[in-house]
Amino acid sequence: MARIFLTGYMGAGKTTVGKKLANQLKLKFIDLDHRIEDASGKTVQQWFDTEGEELFRLKESEVLKNVCESDDFVLATGGGTPCYSENLELMKRSGITIYLELHPGSIYYRLARSKAERPLIKSLDDASLMEYILSSMLVREPFYKKSHIIVKGENVDVPALKDMVLVQMQGAS
| Mean pLDDT for the stretch of residues 43-66 | 92
Q: pLDDT-derived band of residue 118, with 50, 70 and 90 as boundaries?
A: confident
pLDDT digits (tens, 9 = 90+) for 21-45: 999 999 999 999 999 999 999 998 8
Name the average pLDDT for the chain. Answer: 94
Q: pLDDT-derived band of residue 173, with 50, 70 and 90 as boundaries?
A: low
CA pair distance 126, 114, nearest whole angstrom: 12
Question: What per-residue confidence (pLDDT) applies to 163?
Answer: 95
163, 19 Cβ separation under 8 angstroms: no
Question: What per-residue confidence (pLDDT) applies to 120?
Answer: 83
CA of 123: how far to CAs of 68, 109, 113, 115, 117, in Å? 34, 16, 13, 8, 11
| 6 has pLDDT over 90 | yes
Residues 6+ apart with CB under 8 A from 169: 2, 96
CA pair distance 81, 70, nearest whole angstrom: 18
Map out the domains of the chain with their CATH numbers. 3-102+141-154 (3.40.50.300)
pLDDT digits (tens, 9 = 90+) for 68-110: 998 899 999 999 999 998 999 999 999 999 999 999 999 999 9
